[in-house]
Amino acid sequence: MDYTFTIIVPVYNEEDNLERVEQELLSYTKIATRITKILFVNDGSSDGSQSLIEAICKRQDHFSYILFAENRGLSAAIKAGFDYVDTELVGYIDSDLQTAPEDFNKLLEHVGDYDLVTGVRADRKDKFVKNMSSKIANNIRRAFTNDGMDDTGCPLKVIKTAYAKRIPMFKGLHRFLPAMILLQNGKVIQIPVQHFPRMAGTAKFGLWNRLFGPLMDCFAYLWMKKKYINYTVSKTSA
């Protein structure tokens, strides 16, 4: 099958969510505006996630997986997905399914004109502390990057794969994906998407990695921006 869109699903100890993830994403592949496949990236889960992932991939032709030897973090999982993707477009959704796969179609409407399309979580269903820490972190990041994005932590994105593969990833960079596309002279846009409470499992981020961690990452981004190499080839004999 000529797939044109791959959805990366990072997984870390999400055994309680995975059967729902299978059903939701399988349903989405039937209404997707692009021929879509799913790539689980198991970030070294210590629960029963891997056995569930293997069972899902065995019964679903559109699904495949990568298993890390040890836990390396969300940015590493996304980076691995980018490395393995072979389709024109790549998407990303969290395995907690607090965003809706069908909203990928809203984002895909804009990939002709834009190189990254990110969701903005409308009417967020998280607790007050999580909402406020995310809002503060986004304000800090936007001041550093000038990317114009209100919610880079939204786990629903579509990127042209050629741009995604050129992103020099580091820990925490999943918050800076629009800024990294802008460094490549790409175009980005944000589109409102649905948001839901977590139905099962536990959140993997606390106050530190929602607020203080991103602040430190901003300085890493500024260093990278200063050192970033970007070029355009005007002619070649090849």
Structure tokens at 89: 């477009």
Distances (CA, A) of 121 to 7, 135, 144, 188: 18, 11, 21, 16
Residue 68 has pLDDT above 70, yes or no: yes
Is 237 a member of any domain?
no
Instruction: Give the CATH number for residue 157.
Output: 3.90.550.10
Is 98 a member of any domain?
yes
Q: Where are the alpha helices (DSSP H) in 13-127?
A: 18-31, 49-59, 74-84, 104-108
pLDDT (tens digit per residue) in 89-145? 999 999 999 999 999 999 999 999 999 999 988 765 555 555 555 666 666 666 666
Q: What is the CA radius of gyration of the chain?
A: 17
Is 48 a member of any domain?
yes
Residue 169 has pLDDT above 60, yes or no: yes
Dihedral angle over CA of 186, 191, 194, 195, nearest 10? 50
Is 85 a member of any domain?
yes
Is 41 a member of any domain?
yes
Span 35-61, mean pLDDT? 97
**Of residues 48, 37, 47, 49, the one with CA closest to residue 11:** 49
Least confident of 21-25, 62-66, 197-201: 197-201
**Domains identified in the chain, total number:** 1
**Of residues 61, 49, 42, 46, the one with CA closest to residue 18:** 49
Query: pTM for the full model?
Result: 0.82
- Identify the residue with better confidence: 32 or 203: 32
Is 141 a member of any domain?
yes
Q: Domain limits at 199? A: 5-227
Contact 41, 125 (CB under 8 A): no
Q: Beta partners for 189?
A: 117
Contact 165, 82 (CB under 8 A): yes
Is 100 a member of any domain?
yes
Span 140-153, mean pLDDT? 68
DSSP 210: I
